Amino acid sequence: MNINSASITAATRMVRGLFLTSLAASTQASMVPKLCMDAKTTTGEALFGWLGNLPSMAPFKNEVKKQALAQADWTLKTQEYAMAYEIEAIKIRRDQLGIYTPIFSAAGERAGNHKDYMLAQRLAAGFSEVDYTGKNFFDTSKTFVKGVKSTFDNKMTGALTQTTYRTARKMIRNIKDPAGYPVVANPEFSLIVSPDLEGTARDVLKADRLANGGSNTEYNTATLEVWNYLSGAAWYLAVNNSVLKPMINLDEVPIELYSKTDYASSDAAFNRHVFEYQAYSVNVINFGLPQLIIGCTGV
């Protein structure tokens, strides 16, 4: 096959198609939409001052009482991410581009999984890094915002058992916002564990009977999410039926695929006879509303 505009265009079209197909498939199985509120920025950062203090309905008396929203100083800044790979021009000339097919598909899959990797890292860091409240994301006696006296807990210790799982559900149900409203009126839950805890989590949620023969009152009271990006004994219980989420996914540039295949403008093509491809994005995932998730150390 000759190396010309048509053959290079066809190769790039194939690369892009395989990449985007795998990218779409991987994002469909992502935990990001389940745990993250989506936000956009064009400046590289965004201030989430409203966190923790939403307006509530109140009796109407001649004039609506305006609720002054306390502000949280929580600014997220995006980060650039990229992956790059090359194709030898001789492979196109010899009509051997098919040997790269798994790589193109894997690249799209890896790019699509990157946010899940970041999300898992932030969850694991929640026991030791602060959120908008000024305390660790998973902690006790957390204030909703500065100047508001009401507090809540979203941290536990102890191994995953029927009892600790039941306690976590009760903790979330008992969290009230500063106006006295439940954070979520009728919460539904996701139990998120590492592969190390899959068997235990299935005993808690999926077993009809307990070891002593009694009925399992926690049967199917949460969706089980066994997440390979996590490890160890820590486990998490998150509300999954609210428009608000415990984490934030801030996007500036969604994943894009670029190519340099022109011999006239690409040093790599001219000097080494390789064509370059790069996936690029600008985003960040970080803590949002800790009121919507319980983190347990597992020890």
Give the model confidence (pLDDT) of 49-96 as tens digits: 888 666 665 566 655 555 444 456 789 999 999 998 888 888 878 877
CA dist., res. 224 & res. 68, Å (int): 39
199-233, pLDDT tens digit by residue?
999 999 999 888 888 889 999 999 999 999 999 99
How many domains does the chain fold into?
Answer: 1
On the 0-12 / 13-18 / 19+ scale of CB atoms within 10 A, 194 is buried
Range with top average pLDDT, 14-18, 67-71, 174-178, 196-200: 196-200
Average pLDDT score, the chain:
89
Q: Which domain holds residue 180?
A: 5-296
Q: Is 275 a residue whose pLDDT tops 90?
A: no
127-137, pLDDT tens digit by residue?
999 999 999 99
CATH number at residue 198: 3.90.1690
pLDDT (0 to 100) of residue 69: 47
Output 249 or 65, whichever has higher pLDDT: 249
Give the mean pLDDT of 159-167. 96
Query: What string of DSSP letters covers 167-205?
Result: HHHHHHHH-B-TTS-BSSSS--EEEEE-GGGHHHHHHHH
pLDDT (0 to 100) of residue 54: 67
17-62, pLDDT tens digit by residue?
999 999 999 888 899 999 999 999 999 999 998 886 666 655 666 5
- DSSP, collapsed to helix, strand or coil, labels residue 118 as helix
**CA neighbor of 36 nearest in space, from 116, 121, 153, 110:** 116
Classify 180 in phi/psi space as left (phi over 0), alpha (psi -120 to 50) or beta: left
